[in-house]
Amino acid sequence: MDYDVLVVGAGVTGCATAMELTKYTLRAGVLEAGEDVCTGTSKANSAIVHAGFDALPGSLKARFNVEGSRLMPALARRLDIPYRRNGALVLAFSPEERAGLEELLRRGRANGVEGLELLDRQALRQREPRVSPEAWGALYAPSSAIVCPFELTAAMAENAAANGARFHFGARVTAVRREGELWALETQAGCFRAPVVINAAGLGGGTLHNLVSREKVSLVPRKGEYCLLDRKVGGLVSHTIFQLPTRMGKGVLVTPTVHGNLLMGPTALDVEDPLATDTTAAGLDRVIQQARRSVPELPVNRVITSFAGLRAHPEGEESDFILGEAPGAPGFLDAIGMESPGLSAAPAVGAFLAESAAYLVRASVNRSYDGSRPAVCRPAELSPEERAELIRRRPEYGRIVCRCEQVSEGEILDAIRRCPGARSLDGVKRRTRAGMGRCQGGFCMPRVLELLSRELGLPPEEITKGGGGSRLLWGPTRKRGGEGE
Amino acid sequence: MISCDLAVIGAGPAGLAAAIAAREAGVEDILVLERDEAAGGILNQCIHSGFGLHTFQEELTGPEYAARFRARAEELGIPIRLGVMVLGLGSDRVLTLTSRERGLEQLRAGAVILAMGCRERPRGALNIPGYRPAGIYTAGTAQRLVNMEGLLPGREIVILGSGDIGLIMARRMTLEGAHVQCVAELLPYSGGLKRNIVQCLDDYGIPLRLSHTVVNIRGRERVEGVTLAQVGPDRRPVPGTEEDIPCDTLLLSVGLLPENELSEGAGVALDPVTGGPVVGEDFSTSVPGVFACGNALHVHDLVDFVSQEAAAAGRSAARFLKGGPPAGPVIPIRCRDGVRYTVPQHLAVEAMPPEVTVRFRVSAPFREKYLACYINGTRVFHGKKRIMAPGEMEQYTLRRAALPADAREIVFCVEED
């Protein structure tokens, strides 16, 4: 299949790029190895829109983080996704660490971050009473925010699709050839050609780059483990609370999420296996220990789940994003090494790459681009009158499927029917939160399974947790007509 | 806004028994609210037998036990609304409901009985490290899939936790042709009923691995195996004892938690040990006109006790609706040394019926130890028990006639001699 621009990877960077590409008159296609958008690094991170004070001034990270952070509020509004500017605090635990805060303040100001301020112990405690009494002072960054990375990614993909971009799932790129002016990408779902390719393949981005470029890169999977706490304790702190960054990254943070949970993590450990998203006892212990250093009262018995994500870290210290044309590969644009602040930067990175691609294929501005997204129906956010009226028209919004997060059948059907829509239990969970609450899907899983089976026209035993071989069931029981009958 | 005299939240064994008793005590206008598509609650998926030995002196399956209460409710003409979820409950006893059929509604109730049941602790609550593949289910979810949906979750099974549902599911999966490798239990004793260990594990040759836990889960897409390790007296894994067990499914039976989001929303005080409301001998909670029973109150071992307590709660709600006399002074029922909690947690001495059954669980297994009851610091009961185990509920009957007029405090404990 032929396109003007092919994006490899449907994570937050790939989807932002796809959305931005549809603002031009060109044919855009997205190739994704997984079964859904947002299944790699984008699904397991801190869900923070960073203010941009810790990147080295002049770096791509600094530029795109600050730009992305400025774009995010308007983007969240027009795509109808949860976003909240809750502010961040970087704690210092001794007078010696004051130098560290001052360095961040200097960097932040150089990067153009607004509103930065140093707080003494008293001002800190006033702003965030639950921080450790050991904290001696803090850097306050009011423009730091929290966002739902699942909904952000899915919403950008939906907007891209509504404006004509096509998504191909199960399309892992296995080989790249040059055919005249075109790049030919062999995938499990067929061969795709385009003069411009954008490499947003996350942890696979290094391998893809090395297939075409004379300058090789090496991406190291850097594992981060997290624990998520029950919403009952979500109000313990209101800011995103960091400690001073280290050589390995921003360190363990404690933050509320846009959905009212409390999140703590990540650790930072370089691993070899780019699929090693397993948590470890040592990692989870470390998360808890470090998080308690910032907020001693953290009720760790309220953990409802833990998870690990992998950042694509370019080898070397103070490494930067790798953005732009790969050396020796005309029309092959990289967006790799998108570790933190990759989520924050995504909207700005997407716009930059789309502009570069449009220039290369001589596309003009698409005047019929529609910046909105078909409205998302969230009954719980309506007034009682509006909700009652909605259920009168569409009774499926009246039946609650997920008790813990109070998600209705109507919302689950919407998630499956959207384009690109959910194809698996995790796809539904990321879009609707069904199964994300304190019972972790114990009650709603059989119901969501039934809805997926019905909507997709597949028998229940073919429904997966997250695509591939993640089938949820072995098959029918004996009585139901399985073996032994 | 619609209204009723008594709203019962949940049509499981507790809700049904409470509604029946309230009607028999003269409450006309009752509404039972059930979120599932059938009344009966968790009993509908408990197709094994062993229910009702106390109540009916015969051994019934879960659905049969539920059917008797359903039939009685029907006979009494008690309306049960199915497929309706209570989204909120205020301290003013106004409920917010949602359903397909009638949409969003406000219901004002003269009295409310909380009978929402309990839920299972998920993997996340244990923070078990490893991957997060398909094939990890709580035992109750697996039970629902097998017994109600006709779907088998897997073929090679490891069960973590020896709660009753885990034990029952070890047998059930075996009968469905799956192979249960073992049941691992963190504690040095089982949390389930003795009879279930014998009938569900021993009879099928399924090993019970006490003082063992799962320390890692393998498999990126579907479970491929778990690592089992022995734990020391501190319940931490002992290095060097790890053993890999290939399997495609991990079932969890690691504890039940009363569901009390609605109760909390209404301002009902909860007991941190039971996870359910703090109640008096009449099952009244801290919010006037709101009563609690069943597994939402405390997790039971036998449904017969659920029915008994729920009936008492139903009668109390009826008394409240008729404007019964004030309860008078209330004294605490406390516990210590081996007794984890009591239900009720307090007692209105003047208003109490001639006999009040106090139920509780012990904190560890005890052999040949004494159960003691103190009133105002004086020991009034001291009885030897051959075995007391955390998996089995204990009970003691307080007699009004035996309570002194100046009773200030009742304490239960386990004593060496």
- Tell whether A103 and A43 lie within a shared domain: no
What's the rounded Cα separation, in Å, for the pair A479 and A485?
A: 7
Secondary structure (DSSP) of B276-323 = SB---TT-B-SSTTEEE-GGGTS--S-HHHHHHHHHHHHHHHHHHHTT
CB contact under 8 A, A478 and B177: yes
- Tell whether A453 and A399 lie within a shared domain: yes
Rg (CA), chain A: 23
Of B103, B129, B221, the CB nearest to A398: B103
Å between B143 CA and nearest CA of chain A? 11
Contact B412, B335 (CB under 8 A): yes
Best mutation target, A428, A450, A473, to test chain B (most B CBs within 10 A): A473
- Which B residues in the span 173-212 are in contact with A, Cβ-Cβ below 8 Å? 176-178
CB contact under 8 A, B217 and A278: yes
CB contact under 8 A, B101 and A480: no
- Tell whether A137 and A225 lie within a shared domain: yes
B131 contact A CB<8A: yes
State which of A286, A311, A336 marks the end of a domain: A311
CATH at residue A12? 3.50.50.60
Question: Would you say residue A108 lies in a domain?
Answer: yes
- Which A residues in the span 422-451 are in contact with B, Cβ-Cβ below 8 Å? 425, 438-443, 445-446, 450
Q: Which positions in chain B touch A466 (Cβ < 8 Å)?
A: 134, 221
Length of chain B: 417
CATH at residue A120? 3.30.9.10
B122 contact A CB<8A: yes
What's the rounded Cα separation, in Å, for the pair A267 and A276?
A: 14
B367 contact A CB<8A: no
- Tell whether A324 and A188 lie within a shared domain: yes
Question: Would you tell me the crossing angle of helices A445-456 and A425-432 to the nearest 10 degrees?
Answer: 110
- Tell whether A229 and A278 lie within a shared domain: yes
Looking only at the bridges linking them, the beta strands covering A253-256 and A262-265 are antiparallel
- Tell whether A404 and A300 lie within a shared domain: no
Nearest to A18 by CA among A207, A187, A184, A153: A153
B152 contact A CB<8A: yes
The number of distinct structural domains making up chain A is 3
- Tell whether A357 and A442 lie within a shared domain: no
- Tell whether A433 and A386 lie within a shared domain: yes
Count of CB contacts below 8 A, A vs B? Answer: 153
- Tell whether A56 and A158 lie within a shared domain: yes
Å between B66 CA and nearest CA of chain A? 20
Give residue limits of the domains in chain B: 1-120+256-324, 122-254, 327-417
Of A305, A450, A474, the CB nearest to B124: A305
State which of A294, A311, A328 marks the end of a domain: A311
Length of chain A: 485
User: Among this protein's residues, is A50 annotated catalytic?
Assistant: yes
Contacts of range B73-80, beta carbons closer than 8 Å, 24 or more positions apart: B73/B16, B73/B19, B73/B20, B73/B32, B73/B39, B76/B20, B76/B23, B76/B24, B78/B19, B78/B20, B78/B23, B78/B30, B78/B32, B79/B30, B79/B31, B79/B32, B80/B11, B80/B19, B80/B32, B80/B34, B80/B39
Question: Would you say residue A478 lies in a domain?
Answer: no
CB contact under 8 A, A477 and B144: no
* pLDDT value of position A484: 45
Instruction: Tell me the average confidence (pLDDT) per consecutive run of 10 residues in chain A, 485 residues long.
Output: 96 98 98 97 96 96 98 96 97 91 96 96 96 95 98 98 97 96 97 98 97 96 96 95 86 96 96 94 95 94 93 91 97 97 98 98 97 89 93 95 94 97 97 92 94 97 96 86 49
CB contact under 8 A, B138 and A480: no
Say which of A50, A209, A239, A313 is annotated catalytic: A50
- Helix, strand, or coil here: A449? helix
| pLDDT one digit per residue (tens) for chain B, 417 residues | 999 999 999 999 999 999 999 999 999 999 999 999 999 999 999 999 999 999 999 999 999 999 999 999 999 999 999 999 999 999 999 999 999 999 999 999 999 999 999 999 988 888 899 999 999 999 999 999 999 999 999 999 999 999 999 999 999 999 999 999 999 999 999 888 889 999 999 999 999 999 999 999 999 999 999 999 999 999 999 999 999 999 999 999 999 999 999 999 999 999 999 999 999 999 999 999 999 999 999 999 999 999 999 999 999 999 999 997 777 789 999 999 999 999 999 999 888 999 999 999 999 999 999 999 999 999 999 999 999 998 889 999 999 998 988 999 999 999 998
- Which B residues in the span 285-344 are in contact with A, Cβ-Cβ below 8 Å? none
B119 contact A CB<8A: yes
Å between A463 CA and nearest CA of chain B? 11
Best mutation target, A304, A407, A477, to test chain B (most B CBs within 10 A): A477
Question: Which residue on chain A is closest to B258 by alpha carbon?
Answer: A439
CA distances from B339 to A233, B16, B277, B385 (A): 29, 30, 18, 13
What's the rounded Cα separation, in Å, for the pair A446 and A450?
A: 6
Question: Would you say residue A18 lies in a domain?
Answer: yes
Question: Would you say residue A247 lies in a domain?
Answer: yes
Q: Which positions in chain A touch B133 (Cβ < 8 Å)?
A: 465, 470
Query: Which residue is listed with tokens 């509020």?
Result: A73
Asked if CATH classification 3.40.50.300 holds for the domain at B1-120+256-324, the reply, yes or no, is no
Same fold, B1-120+256-324 and B122-254: yes
- Tell whether A79 and A158 lie within a shared domain: yes
Question: Which residue on chain A is closest to B98 by alpha carbon?
Answer: A398
A175 contact B CB<8A: no
What six digits make up the tokens of A105?
């303040």
B13 contact A CB<8A: no
CB contact under 8 A, B127 and A468: no
B248 contact A CB<8A: yes
Q: Which positions in chain A touch B248 (Cβ < 8 Å)?
A: 474
CB contact under 8 A, A275 and B153: no
Of B103, B137, B144, the CB nearest to A388: B103
Of B96, B122, B151, the CB nearest to A476: B151
Question: Would you say residue A482 lies in a domain?
Answer: no
SS (H, E, C) A379-390: HHHCCHHHHHHH
CB contact under 8 A, A399 and B99: yes
* pLDDT value of position B193: 87
Q: Which positions in chain A touch B155 (Cβ < 8 Å)?
A: 474
- Tell whether A44 and A156 lie within a shared domain: yes
Å between A385 CA and nearest CA of chain B? 8
Fold for B122-254, please state it. Answer: FAD/NAD(P)-binding domain (3.50.50)
- Tell whether A164 and A51 lie within a shared domain: yes
CATH at residue A422? 1.10.10.1100
CB contact under 8 A, B145 and A466: no
Of B130, B141, B249, the CB nearest to A442: B141
Å between A267 CA and nearest CA of chain B? 14
Question: Would you say residue A289 lies in a domain?
Answer: yes
CB contact under 8 A, B127 and A275: no
Q: Which positions in chain B touch A403 (Cβ < 8 Å)?
A: 35, 85
Nearest to A337 by CA among A222, A174, A169, A187: A222
Q: Which positions in chain A touch B219 (Cβ < 8 Å)?
A: none
A465 contact B CB<8A: yes
Question: Would you say residue A452 lies in a domain?
Answer: yes
Domain, as residue range, for A456: 379-462
What six digits make up the tokens of A235?
């109000």
Residue spans of alpha helices (H) in A418-444: 425-432
B130 contact A CB<8A: yes
A93 contact B CB<8A: no
* pLDDT value of position A479: 63
Angle B31-B37-B40 from CA coordinates, rounded to 5°:
70
CB contact under 8 A, A439 and B146: no
Å between A215 CA and nearest CA of chain B? 32
Q: Which positions in chain B touch A423 (Cβ < 8 Å)?
A: none
Question: Would you say residue A88 lies in a domain?
Answer: yes
What dihedral do alpha carbons B243, B248, B254, B256 form, nearest 10°? 180
Question: Which residue on chain B is closest to A226 by alpha carbon?
Answer: B127
Question: Which residue on chain A is closest to B157 by alpha carbon?
Answer: A474
Å between B198 CA and nearest CA of chain A? 25
Angle B157-B160-B165 from CA coordinates, rounded to 5°:
85
